[in-house]
Amino acid sequence: MHKCFVPVLASLALLASCGGGGNRLSGGGGGGGGGTGSGNSVPLTVEIGPAGPTFVNIAFVTLTICAPGTQNCQTIDNIQVDTGSSGLRIVSSVLNASLLQALPQQYVGGTTVPVVECAQFADGYSWGPVVAADLEIAGEKASGIPMQVIGDPAFTQIPTDCSSPVPNEEDTVATFGANGIIGVGVFAQDCGAACANGVISGTYYGCPSSGAGCTGIVEAADLQVPNPVTAFSADNNGVVIELPNVAAGGAASATGSLIFGIGTESNNALGTATVLATDGITGEIDVTFSAADYPQSVLDTGSNALYFTDNALSVCGATSNGAGFYCTAANLSATITTASNMQLAASFVVGDAGTMVQQSLAAYPQLGGPFGTAAPQTFDFGLPYFYNRNVFVAIEGTSAGGATGPFFAY
């Protein structure tokens, strides 16, 4: 049983709840650049972010970035927490000039050619160099890990096989929707074996001569942008997302916790949570809804609503506050089938987005929407499903609470 004791260094911010194990400070860096605290837990807040109220249901944390091994640090808020991706990415304009300059550029092996990444999203792409950084969050530290700087003004020549699949550039706070993103999903790196074994179009590039003339490169796994949790010295097998209950009609903000580690401290025990092993390649789970099978389903804080196909629900019209979401309220239930063929009921409520969505609110526990027109194979349990529920996200290949990642559990 871990005891909570007060760290000796008074310059550190103390968390109100010491549910985690004792002093989690790493040895290096002394007080760290105004480090965000101790323990293995940080506040996780759903609120209107720096890009305004059109970006709903985004859960943010504050973290500290330092040039590796130095006190040249910056504490940055409004970083989106994403269980559907892996990797730390920060918008260039958010970084202090002196810090941006001090983050070492990653080069293609044995050369002076900068490595630049195209981060792919379904709605666009983010382009920018891979650098090394120290990450400090709670009392955890990841030293010298690859991180992507999005929208770095030194790299503006974007290759067409990066931009053309979905030509929507998201390299500013306004277009990205946050100051950055911390991907804490089930995968250890953002690309994995595919990018380590061959050149995959639209992923990693070597860009010589002032950011122009980029060509695709092979990128070894340990050089790829990692899930930063894997680089912590402890509490490094996953995370727990804890968000409070939120009133049905929505709220201006909701604060819970992002907890590091599964089964490593007194605040992250798996307990009676049901383990939902995911597919090892895609990170997906199997869901049944309304007698249809959705084998490519997810639990995903990076998704802002419950997206699923239900022809009985009407979709809000273009002039509605809830345009694009469901305008019919309904109490519904799906079934998640675990790897051991257990059936887990997944009940949820969809509200009328036409009346729910307001410019003054950010947290919508009943926001639901259609998953396109054509029948998908995905049931997307986005952020609404995480309210009033503690969800574990275990990293592939790790031992977590007696089970082995990748898995979700709740």
Backbone phi and psi for residue 386, each to the nearest 5 degrees, phi listed first: -85, -10
- CB 12 → another protein: shortest distance, Å? 34
Q: Does 282 bind another protein (CB under 8 A)?
A: yes
| Binding residue for another protein, selected from 96, 156, 215, 233, defined by CB under 8 A | 215
Residue 405: exposure state from Cβ atoms within 10 A (0-12, 13-18, ≥19): buried
Between 74 and 85, name the residue whose CB sits nearer to another protein.
85
- Of 133-141, 165-173, 341-349, 402-410, which part binds another protein (CB under 8 A)? 165-173
| Binding residue for another protein, selected from 19, 50, 165, 208, defined by CB under 8 A | 165
| Binding residue for another protein, selected from 22, 50, 144, 192, defined by CB under 8 A | 192
Show contacts with another protein in window 66-105 (CB under 8 A): 84-86
| Binding residue for another protein, selected from 136, 284, 286, 352, defined by CB under 8 A | 284
What 3-state DSSP class applies to 199? coil
| Binding residue for another protein, selected from 9, 14, 174, 281, defined by CB under 8 A | 281
Residues 108 and 206 sit within 8 Å (Cβ to Cβ): yes
Q: Does 405 bind another protein (CB under 8 A)?
A: no
The single residue listed with the structure tokens 């997944």 is 346
- Of 15-23, 241-249, 275-283, 344-352, which part binds another protein (CB under 8 A)? 275-283
Q: What is the SS3 string spanning 318-362?
A: CCCCCCCCECCCEEEEEEEECCCCCEEEEEEEECCHHHHCCCCCC
Q: Does 307 bind another protein (CB under 8 A)?
A: yes
Site size toward another protein (CB under 8 A) is 61
**In whole angstroms, what is the distance from residue 95 CA to residue 97 CA?**
6
Residues 277 and 407 sit within 8 Å (Cβ to Cβ): yes
Give whole-number Cα distances, 93 to 116, 137, 150, 178, 385, in Å.
Answer: 17, 21, 9, 11, 32
| Binding residue for another protein, selected from 198, 331, 341, 360, defined by CB under 8 A | 198
Q: Does 289 bind another protein (CB under 8 A)?
A: no
| Binding residue for another protein, selected from 30, 167, 271, 317, defined by CB under 8 A | 167
Give whole-number Cα distances, 122 to 163, 167, 170, in Å.
Answer: 12, 10, 11
What 3-state DSSP class applies to 97? helix
> CA geometry: angle at 217 spanning 215 and 220, to 5°?
160
| Binding residue for another protein, selected from 34, 47, 55, 105, defined by CB under 8 A | 55
Kind and range of the H or E run holding 137:
strand 124-137
Between 22 and 324, name the residue whose CB sits nearer to another protein.
324
Q: Does 319 bind another protein (CB under 8 A)?
A: no
Between 119 and 400, name the residue whose CB sits nearer to another protein.
119
Residues 366 and 356 sit within 8 Å (Cβ to Cβ): yes
Kind and range of the H or E run holding 46:
strand 41-47
- CB 260 → another protein: shortest distance, Å? 22
Between 134 and 190, name the residue whose CB sits nearer to another protein.
190
CB count in 10 Å sphere of residue 344? 15
| Binding residue for another protein, selected from 47, 77, 161, 310, defined by CB under 8 A | 161
Assess whether the previous peptide bond of 68 is cis (omega < 30° from 0).
no
Residues 325 and 368 sit within 8 Å (Cβ to Cβ): yes
- CB 314 → another protein: shortest distance, Å? 16
- Of 12-20, 138-146, 169-177, 385-393, which part binds another protein (CB under 8 A)? 169-177
Q: Does 19 bind another protein (CB under 8 A)?
A: no
- CB 122 → another protein: shortest distance, Å? 5
- Beta-bridged to residue 226, according to DSSP, are 189
Cβ contacts of 303 within 8 Å, gap of 6 or more: 84, 380, 381, 382, 383
What 3-state DSSP class applies to 98? helix
| Binding residue for another protein, selected from 304, 354, 361, 392, defined by CB under 8 A | 304
Q: Does 371 bind another protein (CB under 8 A)?
A: yes
Between 92 and 309, name the residue whose CB sits nearer to another protein.
309
Between 129 and 159, name the residue whose CB sits nearer to another protein.
159
User: What are the residues binding another protein (CB under 8 A)?
Assistant: 54-55, 58, 84-86, 119-124, 159-161, 164-170, 177, 187, 190-192, 194, 198, 200-203, 215-216, 281-284, 296, 298, 300, 302-305, 307, 323-325, 369, 371-378, 380, 382
